[in-house]
Structure 1
Amino acid sequence: MVANPTYERISLPPTPYKSFRAFYPFYLGEHRNRINRMLHLVGTSGSIVIFGRVVAAAVPYLCKLLEYPHLASRTRGWAIQEKDIWKYVVLAIVEGYGLAWMGHFFAERNRPATFTYPLYSLRGDFTMLWEVLTFQRKAW
Structure 2
Amino acid sequence: MQNRIQTYSEFWPYYLKEHSSALCRRLHFLGTTLALIGFAIFLITFNPILLLACAVGGYGPAWIAHFFVEKNRPATFTYPIWSLYSDFRMFFLWLSGRLPDELKKAGVP
2:66 to 101, 104, 109: 104
Paired residue total: 101
Give yes or no for the alignment of 1:37 onto 2:25. Answer: yes
Identity of aligned residues (%): 37
- C-alpha root-mean-square deviation of aligned residues, in Å? 1.8
- Larger Rg over CA atoms: 1
Q: Partner residue of 1:120?
A: 82
Unaligned runs of 5+ in 2: 104-109
Whether the aligned pair in 1 keeps the contact of 2:42 and 2:48 (CA below 8 Å) is no
The AA in structure 1 aligned to 2:63 is W
1:24 to 9, 12, 36: 12
The AA in structure 1 aligned to 2:39 is F
Cα deviation 1:12-71 (Å, max 9, x = unaligned) = 962x2233222110000000111111000110111011101111235xxxxxxxxxxxxx
Whether the aligned pair in 1 keeps the contact of 2:23 and 2:65 (CA below 8 Å) is yes
CA distance in 1 between partners of 2:20 and 2:35 (Å): 22
Aligned partner of residue 73 in structure 2, secondary structure: coil
Unaligned runs of 5+ in 1: 1-11, 59-84
Q: What is the Cα deviation at residue 94 of structure 1? A: 0.3
TM-score by length of 2: 0.85
CA distance in 1 between partners of 2:10 and 2:2 (Å): 10
Cα deviation 1:88-108 (Å, max 9, x = unaligned) = 111110011111000000111
TM-score by length of 1: 0.67
